[in-house]
Structure 1
Amino acid sequence: MKNLFHNYINTFRGLSKEVWWLSLITLINRAGTMVIPFLSLYLTKSLDFTLSDVGWIMSFFGLGSVVGTWLGGKLTDKIGYYKVMLVSLVLTGVLFVLLQFITTFQGFCAGIFLVMLVADAFRPAMFVALSAYSKPENKTRSVTLIRLAINLGFSAGPAVGGLIITGIGYNGLFWMDGVTCVLAAVLLLQVLHPKKAKIQDEVKVENPVSAYSDKAFWVFFVAMFIFGFVFLQYFSTMPLYYKDVRLLSELDIGLLMGFNGFFIFLFEMPLIKWLEDSKNSKIKLIAIGLFLVAVSFVVLNISSWLGILIIGMLFMTIGEMIAFPFSNAFAVERAQKGNQGEYMALYAIAFSLSHIFSHNAGMQMVDKYGFEFTWNMITIFALIGVAILFWLLILLKKEKTV
């Protein structure tokens, strides 16, 4: 047991102090975004919107994310990652608090668009900061540490969110989101000010290559869109499935989704270290991760036993544990030859675009054909993504021979 703990601790060694601070800032910020997992429930139960309305609102959520991510990438290359992160955190905190006062369909579409535009400008800036604060050999593990922070926050967030809803209602979530964003900004000012932080790896590239002319990266982009489309069902249609079909309470849903983050917190870093040592291709590992996420949907249709929900969540969790860090690391590596903000923005936009289509398509399918049909279609789409990743492997091998 002592050796196991020692080996676990060793997987964290060598990461810079700045990466640890960035992870803590991300943890505080992510723990506060507890509105998001409950958004579809809030819109249907508190504001009495239809499933179709919720689908369109989530499309505006995704559209704001796309615009914000693109803008964040552009601003990062022009004014630097630090200013973009700071302004994004402060304004997001203010906007989350204001969002609770909007009750009309049109108003909420506009409000969620603006919130996500500002909030997701943070993402490409954070990725570039992570690259700058990480030694080249530690980038994948640095990405994984950030993911641990995100998932530890996500583990605590829904569980606390369920308690807040039970105790004081949905409005408390918006206040908590706003306060935690501002707290993260204050911490950023204190510990990662450019005069205090040490740059580990130069982020400027001479004669940068445009991400938009990188064919292999576009194939990767399509695969990541599909991965995002499939994965994001867990944040819109899945909570409704848990509530309406499996009859779980908000607290039960929060605990089940919290299990995902807690499992990742415990096991992702050792798993990533082991997979890195196995010398497997990053793209092959991403494909395995996407396949496991596909399995997490299809198992839900094979049994009415409540325990199948935990099994499905376990497949999804292991799948994202593999796919997210290695896809992120692949994007960071690819960005070394170009404008890093542009590359990381394009990587993040793949997921932002999936927000536009995933929630809406999932809601419309559930509304018209039911959950069982929807899970089967999501599984098939995921398998198409797996096939595209294997095509990308062939393209990358050809690149090396040229």
Structure 2
Amino acid sequence: MIVKTYRIVAGLNDGLRTLFFTTLIFRTGTMAYPFLAAHLLLSGGFDASQAGTAVASFGVGALAADLAAGALLGRVGSRTVMLGGLLLNAAVLAVTPLLHELPWIIGAIVVWGFAYEVVTPASYSATIAGSEPEERKVAFSCYRLAINLGMAVGPVIGGLIFAVNPRAVFWANAVCVLAAAGYLTLRTNGGSSPARRARAARRGVPAVRPLRDHTRFWTIFALSLPVQLAYSLPSVFASTYVIVGLGLPSYWAGIIFTVNAAGIVLFEVPLNVVMARMENLPTLLIGYGLAGAGFLLMGLSESGPALVLSTLVWTAGEIVVFPGLLHYVSGLAPSGGSADRNMSLYSTGVNVAFILAPQLALLLSGPGHPGAPWAVGGAAVCVAWLLLIVARRSPYTWHKEEAWKCAN
């Protein structure tokens, strides 16, 4: 599987391969954020409430980036937005550990969240511009692979640096972000960027879209929120559930994360190559079904092996559903500039879910029902699965693929 994945990545066109390595370098530099709260508590002299407020401000900046990205991409294109976000990110990272007053720190973290997140919709835009519809599931899978590989390495390196010098982790992060910006600059130029070619092809497209274009997007946006919320649970709740809720040794939480990461790295790209020509509806139904079953099983699991089995099921769902959702949303407006807007708003849903997940998990869990958040998340995904079947009956709530599938 590793060899097959390597060959698929190596076979990407120049634009997508550049995006892959830019993303890999950038996400490998995700060192400072996982240790932000610890830095504020240990080095900044702030209490838990102040540190929590500061960390939460990152999400505020990220949401602002998602809301602004559509307009930015329409004006300057994905390459410029990515470079601007990377450079601003590096600048904020260099300054943040030198700040001592809470208002200044919160302001810097808001800007940091904006700069970090604005790269995501720009990357979606570059992926759409650099791939044909029939290639897009694989292209999004490769992009997600770069994210997961980077995020697996970055926090580990950050932990080692933080143990030596907490401030240095911010500067090491900034160096990685600058390296990503440098790589993107050397591998591309403004005149030949995929996004610019795509904008040129869109000139003359009417600004007003049919009502059903709007209703289709907001239908899938609403139906994707249960999936986003459910998949936010592992990162914010798994350790608490395993150690506190079930009273199991902490290494089972590590095994869950390892199984999930290994499954994505080994199988996501090859599986989506096999499923590249599968229509959107069956792809999403398979992904939603596996996700719902996996999270329901998590809520029923009481032993380490049962948790691992459940993790395998919802990881299989993750491998299918997220490239499927990105592929479907990217195709809702294939001939107009609203594709950038749609992808930016989709990213907003991801961040809203990630912000809400910790509060919902703590609200639903308790001594008598520690698995309730998993059960509720799984049930919500199952309801969304049923609503997908209903939605596909109307052209106002479902977009059917064009005839290219039949022609191939």
TM-score of the superposition, structure 1-length normalised?
0.81
Task: Note if contact 2:135-2:276 (Cα within 8 Å) is conserved in structure 1.
Answer: no
1:336 is paired with a residue of what secondary structure?
coil
Find the counterpart in structure 2 of residue 351 from structure 1.
Answer: 350
Rounded to whole Å, the distance in 2 between the matches of 1:169 and 1:314 is: 37
Question: Could you say if the C-alpha distance between residues 255 and 192 of structure 1 is closer, same or farther in structure 2, counting changes exceeding 3 Å?
Answer: farther
Find the counterpart in structure 2 of residue 222 from structure 1.
Answer: 222
Task: Note if contact 1:286-1:322 (Cα within 8 Å) is conserved in structure 2.
Answer: yes
Rounded to whole Å, the distance in 1 between the matches of 2:110 and 2:308 is: 33
Question: Could you say if the C-alpha distance between residues 247 and 401 of structure 1 is closer, same or farther in structure 2, counting changes exceeding 3 Å?
Answer: closer
Find the counterpart in structure 2 of residue 81 from structure 1.
Answer: 78
2:331 to 330, 333, 337: 333
Q: Which moved more, 1:141-150 or 1:234-243?
A: 234-243
Structure 1 residue 360, shift from structure 2 partner: 3.6
Q: Residues 15-164 of structure 1 correspond to what in structure 2 (within 5 A)?
A: 15-37=12-34, 49-50=47-48, 57=54, 59-101=56-98, 109-164=106-161
Structure 1 residue 163, shift from structure 2 partner: 3.4
Amino acid aligned to 1:288: G
Task: Note if contact 1:223-1:386 (Cα within 8 Å) is conserved in structure 2.
Answer: no
Task: Note if contact 2:329-2:343 (Cα within 8 Å) is conserved in structure 1.
Answer: yes
Find the counterpart in structure 1 of residue 184 from structure 2.
Answer: 188
2:315 to 317, 330, 339: 317
Task: Note if contact 2:283-2:320 (Cα within 8 Å) is conserved in structure 1.
Answer: no
Question: Could you say if the C-alpha distance between residues 335 and 375 of structure 1 is closer, same or farther in structure 2, counting changes exceeding 3 Å?
Answer: farther
1:202 is paired with a residue of what secondary structure?
helix
1:199-222 deviation digits (Å, cap 9, x = unpaired): 797355412455996112212112
Where in structure 1 are there 5+ consecutive unaligned residues?
A: none
Question: Could you say if the C-alpha distance between residues 10 and 84 of structure 1 is closer, same or farther in structure 2, counting changes exceeding 3 Å?
Answer: closer
Find the counterpart in structure 1 of residue 274 from structure 2.
Answer: 274
Question: Could you say if the C-alpha distance between residues 253 and 374 of structure 1 is closer, same or farther in structure 2, counting changes exceeding 3 Å?
Answer: closer
Task: Note if contact 2:24-2:149 (Cα within 8 Å) is conserved in structure 1.
Answer: yes
Rounded to whole Å, the distance in 1 between the matches of 2:242 and 2:330 is: 36
Amino acid aligned to 1:18: G
Rounded to whole Å, the distance in 2 between the matches of 1:159 and 1:318 is: 25
Task: Note if contact 2:57-2:106 (Cα within 8 Å) is conserved in structure 1.
Answer: yes
Find the counterpart in structure 2 of residue 285 from structure 1.
Answer: 286
Structure 1 residue 128, shift from structure 2 partner: 0.9
Amino acid aligned to 2:266: L
Where in structure 2 are there 5+ consecutive unaligned residues?
A: 401-408
Rounded to whole Å, the distance in 1 between the matches of 2:345 and 2:193 is: 26
Find the counterpart in structure 1 of residue 404 from structure 2.
Answer: none
2:91 is paired with a residue of what secondary structure?
helix
1:388 to 384, 388, 398: 384
Q: Which moved more, 1:203-212 or 1:337-346?
A: 203-212
Task: Note if contact 2:62-2:351 (Cα within 8 Å) is conserved in structure 1.
Answer: yes
Rounded to whole Å, the distance in 2 between the matches of 1:373 and 1:54 is: 29
Structure 1 residue 343, shift from structure 2 partner: 1.0
Rounded to whole Å, the distance in 1 between the matches of 2:254 and 2:39 is: 14
Structure 1 residue 373, shift from structure 2 partner: 4.0
Rounded to whole Å, the distance in 1 between the matches of 2:274 and 2:112 is: 38
1:175 is paired with a residue of what secondary structure?
helix
Question: Could you say if the C-alpha distance between residues 232 and 198 of structure 1 is closer, same or farther in structure 2, counting changes exceeding 3 Å?
Answer: closer
Q: Which moved more, 1:314-323 or 1:85-94?
A: 314-323
Q: Which moved more, 1:349-358 or 1:21-30?
A: 349-358
Q: Residues 250-265 of structure 1 correspond to what in structure 2 (within 5 A)?
A: 257=257, 260-265=260-265
Q: Percent identity?
A: 22
Structure 1 residue 398, shift from structure 2 partner: 1.8
1:39-89 deviation digits (Å, cap 9, x = unpaired): 566667776754x76765554333221111111221001221111110100
Structure 1 residue 92, shift from structure 2 partner: 0.9
Amino acid aligned to 1:321: I
Rounded to whole Å, the distance in 2 between the matches of 1:401 and 1:274 is: 22
Task: Note if contact 1:152-1:262 (Cα within 8 Å) is conserved in structure 2.
Answer: no
TM-score of the superposition, structure 2-length normalised?
0.80
Rounded to whole Å, the distance in 2 between the matches of 1:297 and 1:42 is: 33
1:236 is paired with a residue of what secondary structure?
helix
Structure 1 residue 349, shift from structure 2 partner: 0.8
1:202 to 198, 201, 213: 198
Rounded to whole Å, the distance in 1 between the matches of 2:214 and 2:160 is: 47
1:250-297 deviation digits (Å, cap 9, x = unpaired): xx9778645533432221111112333555623313413532552464
Amino acid aligned to 1:224: S
Question: Could you say if the C-alpha distance between residues 333 and 287 of structure 1 is closer, same or farther in structure 2, counting changes exceeding 3 Å?
Answer: same
Amino acid aligned to 1:331: V
Task: Note if contact 2:284-2:320 (Cα within 8 Å) is conserved in structure 1.
Answer: no
| Number of aligned residue pairs | 389
Find the counterpart in structure 1 of residue 403 from structure 2.
Answer: none
Amino acid aligned to 2:217: F
Rounded to whole Å, the distance in 2 between the matches of 1:231 and 1:342 is: 23
